Structure 1
Amino acid sequence: MQNENLIQELATLTSEQQNPVSKQLDELDSLAIVTLMNQQDAQVSTAIADILPQVAKAVDLITQSFQQNGRLIYVGAGTSGRLGVLDASECPPTFGVSDQQVIGLIAGGKEAMFKAQEGAEDSPTLAKEELEALKLSANDTLVGIAASGRTPYVIGALEYGNAIGSTTIAISCNRDSPIAQEAQLALTPVVGPEVLAGSTRLKSGTAQKLILNMLSTAAMVRMGKCYENYMVDLKASNLKLKARSLRILMQLTDCTQLEAESLLKAANGQLKTAILMAMTSLDVEQAQTNLEQADGHLKTAIQNALTHS
């Protein structure tokens, strides 16, 4: 009976339908297959364009959480969970934030990143237990990700988030999904049936990835993590990022490489501080104080320093 109900439920989902355009997929050669996939992928950007006002609202809510020392927590299973973990893991090196500010939870834990953990996504209580362990609070924003919009693990997370008073957001690719109804804000890019029927790692996964890019990047920009369009709060944790820090500093201030290296050393490797020092002649302590007073917004700190010089 349970299987029969699930079959009937899946039959109603757009993401599970057979795509008439790819009905002869198994008869196509390689070029025809990838051409068809590329044509279908073009629908993703349009689907997201239709919901940009809601995406912007989600960015505002996440920014409010950050301003209240809250966190952004992604919750998902399978491909959706992996995409959340991926986006979270990229935030510390890109924006210089703690690995506890943006967190990705995937049903089945770390092992599920590399191998499917059977049944983990079917538990509505598992996510609640993991969020309790994280001490989820009313200051946090919880983003539930599920292409189908019906994953019990994600539903359970959103129910708990609502009970705690967290901000809850749902990302799904089917209209009027259970997670959309559970969340305070729903982001629903309807990309249509997949080229490979039901394989939501394709268009649905691409849509989710693009939206996650927007949520984390735009919220970090709102928090002052960039200057112009440079990532000035990056964490120089490898040779490439160290070279990028030097290059950005040289581009923004017209200093030499030796001068850039000296400034970064004086600023304890903090690129934003080094830029402010170079542009205003402040020492490291003054620069750090000015940045704190400007809530980390470099352009504001520069303007304040030049106004009072």
Structure 2
Amino acid sequence: MTRPPTQRPTPRSDDDQTAPLSTEQPSDQHTDLDLLGTPELVQALLDDQLNAVRAAQAALPDIARAADLAVTRLQHAGRLVYVGAGTSGRLGVLDGVELLPTFSWPPERLVTLIAGGERAMFRAAEGAEDDEAQAVLDLQAHHVDAGDVVIVLAASGATPYAVAAARHATQLGALTIGVSNNPGSPLQAAVHVPITLDTGSEVISGSTRLKAGTSQKIVLNALSSAIMVRLHKVYGNLMVDLQATNRKLRLRALHLTVLASGADPDAARHALHDADGHVKTAIVMLRLGLNAEQARHALTAAGHSVRAVLDAHP
């Protein structure tokens, strides 16, 4: 793994007041926002969200590079580690937690860190984002190492907790990915793969929970989903590695098994029962006429890829 490139834009000092962050600049649009009628107010807020999509699209090459590098680590027992503060930290926790039921991502291979700890998910702990030492302690407490993928989020790109975590994780040899909304930020210089979402000023000036936050959520959706597809947790465009832990998800598992196998619902239901609810196993059983044990063995031998198993048995 190469270290972060040395040729980067000069990082902005945390104390540099001469060049305000673009996300903190007052917007020159809707300067009379508080005078708008409610429909016009909502329209202004919605219209500005489209810029979050454009910013994410502009970052596509970096998102793709981050996904490819992450897969290389995660193919070997590496963990996904999300780090952030405030809104960015909450978005990281949300993305990580949703991987468990959606893609059966093992909980022991997920670490979510937010400045201020778990309580900061529900109540703002703004002072915690300045604690650089705690960021290092949090990484040490979870034994982050060179096998892990660390995704650090900070709209400003200068949040001390986030930047300190990124620097320390990089020093440990972990793959570090930084998602920020200001070009030339300290976070960009601290990570292997910087993803910059240049969303600029907000309709409500300084409120980075708006399109800056939306752009981060878009990137996290795309990045983690792309990683999971590359790790064979999707067959075609079907989510075949979900955890069917409630009635809705059990029905979804049945539907996915029928779609992927071509079997009738009764046959799919019996296969899922024998496969302990595992959609991948049920698909292989039905498509190849195997029992559950044989299907599990075939999947293990093929790196848990349904497509690889089926391609090997035309």
TM-score range, shorter chain: over 0.9
Local SS of the residue matching 2:52 = helix
The yes-or-no answer on 1:163 pairing with 2:191 is no
- Equivalent-residue separation in structure 2 for 1:23 and 1:260 (angstroms): 59
Alignment equivalent of 1:55, drawn from 63, 79, 87: 63
Local SS of the residue matching 1:73 = strand
The normalised TM-score by structure 2 is: 0.93
**Post-superposition offset of 1:258:** 2.2
The yes-or-no answer on 1:27 pairing with 2:27 is no
**Post-superposition offset of 1:164:** 0.7
Residue 253 of structure 1 corresponds to which residue in structure 2?
A: 261
Alignment equivalent of 1:74, drawn from 72, 79, 82: 82
Deviation sequence 1:139-169 (CA, Å, 0-9, x none): 1111110000010101110111012111111
Alignment equivalent of 2:234, drawn from 226, 230, 238: 226
Deviation sequence 1:110-162 (CA, Å, 0-9, x none): 11000012411110111211111111010111111000001010111011101
The yes-or-no answer on 1:122 pairing with 2:140 is no
**Post-superposition offset of 1:28:** 0.7
- Which structure 2 residues correspond to residues 1-309 of structure 1 after superposition, within 5 A? 9=17, 12-304=20-312, 306-307=313-314
Structure 2 gap ranges (5+): 1-12
| Contact map agreement 1:65 1:72 (CA 8 A) in 2 | no
- Equivalent-residue separation in structure 1 for 2:112 and 2:238 (angstroms): 25
| Contact map agreement 1:263 1:278 (CA 8 A) in 2 | yes
| Contact map agreement 2:86 2:126 (CA 8 A) in 1 | no
Residue 3 of structure 2 corresponds to which residue in structure 1?
A: none
Structure 1 gap ranges (5+): none
Local SS of the residue matching 2:107 = coil
**Post-superposition offset of 1:46:** 1.4
Residue 6 of structure 2 corresponds to which residue in structure 1?
A: none
Equivalent residue letter for 2:247: L
Local SS of the residue matching 1:83 = helix
Local SS of the residue matching 2:113 = strand
Pairwise CA RMSD: 1.4
Equivalent residue letter for 1:95: F
**Post-superposition offset of 1:101:** 2.2
- Equivalent-residue separation in structure 2 for 1:201 and 1:11 (angstroms): 21
The normalised TM-score by structure 1 is: 0.94
Local SS of the residue matching 2:155 = coil
Equivalent residue letter for 1:202: L
- Equivalent-residue separation in structure 1 for 2:18 and 2:211 (angstroms): 17
**Post-superposition offset of 1:27:** 0.8
The answer to which structure has the higher helix fraction is: 1
- Equivalent-residue separation in structure 2 for 1:95 and 1:231 (angstroms): 7
**Post-superposition offset of 1:99:** 1.5
Structure-2 change in CA distance of 1:165 and 1:232 (3 Å): same
Moved more, 208-217 or 259-268: 259-268
- Equivalent-residue separation in structure 2 for 1:7 and 1:156 (angstroms): 16
| Contact map agreement 1:80 1:147 (CA 8 A) in 2 | yes
Equivalent residue letter for 2:47: Q
**Post-superposition offset of 1:6:** 6.5
**Post-superposition offset of 1:254:** 3.0
